[in-house]
Chain A
Amino acid sequence: MSDDAVSPEEVRHVAELARVDLDDEEVDRFTGQFADILEYFETLDEVPAVDRDAELANVMRPDEERTSLDSEDALRNAPETEDGYFKGPNVS
């Protein structure tokens, strides 16, 4: 196991950043699995720096009005709406 294997606290911290609640059992399980997986990812250290010669081209379209979903369609899958708007929880 590498020096900086993840701790349960780190798993909780990342879960908070990712906005995914975890129960204690999940934290325990993921802590063990993440240690193995991240240790495996560390073998990327052996990869040499490689020149990337990708020929990239910007793809533009004319900036013109186009039809889009009407608001009824756009709201159709929302768990809750009000007066033609999405209704969400408080922001803070």
Chain B
Amino acid sequence: MSDDIFITAERIEGADDGPLAGRTVAVKDNISTAGVRTTCGSKMLEDYVPPYDATVVERLKEAGATIVGKANMDEFGMGTTTETSHFGATDNPAAPGHVPGGSSGGSAAAVAAGEADLALGSDTGGSVRCPAAFCGVVGIKPTYGLVSRYGLVAYGNSLEQIGPFGETVADAAELLDVIAGSDDRDATTRQAPRASDGRTGDARETRETPLEAEENYADAATGDVDGLSIGVPTELLEGADEGVVETFWDAIADLEDRGAEYHQVSLPSVEHAVEAYYVIAMSEASSNLARFDGVRYGQSGGYDGNWNETFAKAREEGFGDEVKRRILLGTYALSAGYHDKYYKKAQDARAWVKQDFDEALAEADVLASPTMPVPPFELGESLDDPLQLYLADANTVPVNLADLPAISVPAGETDGLPVGLQLIGPAFGERRLIRAASALA
């Protein structure tokens, strides 16, 4: 194993037979594997061995996949570069000397380096799509509720979904087929509404014919984009790196050559998506990470002094900078006197973003943007200024706020560095995204 792709390299054999028999999968280290250490990239959980499997891991095993290791990640999923991992930074196999993106950087790197055929990551604000773009592979962020989060160590649970990586769209879709579906251990999972089911009352969902809504995700990877209508949100191109924008338009031209057409759309709400995302994610993190007390599990703060003192000591020693920063800012945003100023306004912004996407998707089959506004940073380049790093998530976080599905697919390169194209679809419109993206990879 090279380049710190895996935190723990261990083979977990699946069933003898199944749709993923003979395929290897890397699993992000915040997804629980029974009997195999799951650290979340944190010193806090350095020795934590889950007593049970996440639902997605159970499904991988049943499908015959072989898990080859627990992939490196930003600590607790907090980062855009995989450099906040307690276990060291992962190098980018597609662009050595650069970051693989985050927070699922190890998962994307595993696929890019050929260490695994497929991988699972988690995407709270772009953590599957960003490393897919930076490593030149495909990553899917599913509709909120399509994939069970049971056994995923929570960070921002109203935003995050487990998502697949593959070298091609068809590969990633095949893994999505295995992990998607409702789970009685995660009450936020939902059945995709059936197109023939009038109850949904939602015009955008009736665009899928009943036949389309029943086929496998992998079968949707036909590459057929004839007649596809693509909306390009102007706001998601503003401020992006010039080489990234050029590569993006080349990919759109490629889709046009195959019969797609594009038009510009405007999403005024996305100007506030990054603020809203970070307020909500940090607030949820401050609550979710309260369980790490060094008593039931985690780094112990020792046994001198009272509970609060040893709890605070365990957390000082166990958490890295970015995790502390987000817990503190989340605590601040939820504290008396500030709740209405930050958290409530962030929820308003979230509703506004959803509304904007609904309107744009009423006029287009999919929306397209560069996945990341910049090419991969050099290792060590970006760590000093957290705010600048948060701004790099501008194109991915609106999708999580709106609970929608999106895919990042390789679009080409700028100065030898991978550029990803992001396609965004309506809720449960994964097949449409897979069909469109498969025209490119």
Q: List the interface of chain A (C-beta within 8 A of B).
A: 6, 10-11, 14-23, 26, 30, 33-34, 36-38, 40-52, 59, 61, 69, 73-74, 76-80, 86-92
Contact = CB atoms under 8 A, between A and B. Distances in A.
Nearest to B324: A20
Contacts, number: 148
Contacts of B342: 41, 44
A23 to B, nearest CB: 8
B297 A78 contact: yes
Nearest to A92: B306
B276 interface: yes
B286 A18 contact: yes
B51 A69 contact: yes
A52 B205 CA distance: 19
A44 B276 contact: yes
Contacts of B348: 44, 47-50
B324 to A, nearest CB: 6
14 contacts: A15-B312, A18-B328, A19-B308, A20-B328, A26-B321, A33-B325, A37-B386, A38-B332, A41-B342, A77-B47, A77-B49, A79-B300, A89-B305, A89-B306
Given A36-B387, A51-B351, A78-B295, A89 B312 contact: no
A76 B351 CA distance: 42
B279 A44 contact: yes
Nearest to A6: B332
A24 B140 CA distance: 42
Nearest to B346: A44
B319 interface: yes
Contacts of A76: 49, 51
A60 to B, nearest CB: 8
Interface residues of B, number: 63
A86 B294 CA distance: 10
A83 B275 CA distance: 48
B387 A50 contact: no
Contacts of B206: none
Given A41-B342, A79-B300, A92-B306, A17 B355 contact: no
Given A11-B328, A37-B329, A44-B272, A50 B316 contact: no
Contacts of B355: 50
A33 B321 CA distance: 12
B325 A20 contact: no
Contacts of A51: 351
Contact of B328 (A14, A74, A92): A14
A18 B327 contact: yes
B157 interface: no
A39 B426 CA distance: 33
A36 to B, nearest CB: 5
A37 B312 contact: no
Contacts of A49: 348
Contacts of A74: 51
Contacts of A48: 348, 352
B216 interface: no
Given A44-B279, A90-B307, A22 B324 contact: yes
B333 interface: yes
B345 A47 contact: yes
Contacts of A10: 332
Nearest to A73: B51
B305 A41 contact: no
Interface string B93-123: 0000000000000000000000000000000
A77 B275 contact: no
Nearest to B300: A79
A33 B331 CA distance: 15
B307 A92 contact: yes
A50 B312 CA distance: 39
Given A41-B342, A50-B355, A21 B316 contact: yes
Contacts of B51: 69, 73-74, 76-77
Interface in B331-346: 331-333, 335, 341-342, 345-346
A23 B316 CA distance: 9
B351 A50 contact: yes
Nearest to A20: B315
A37 to B, nearest CB: 5
A38 B332 CA distance: 10
Given A14-B328, A80-B303, A21 B315 contact: yes
Contacts of A20: 312, 315-316, 319, 324, 327-328
Given A47-B349, A48-B352, 8 more contacts: A20-B327, A21-B313, A21-B315, A41-B333, A44-B346, A47-B348, A89-B304, A89-B306
Interface in B5-52: 47-49, 51-52
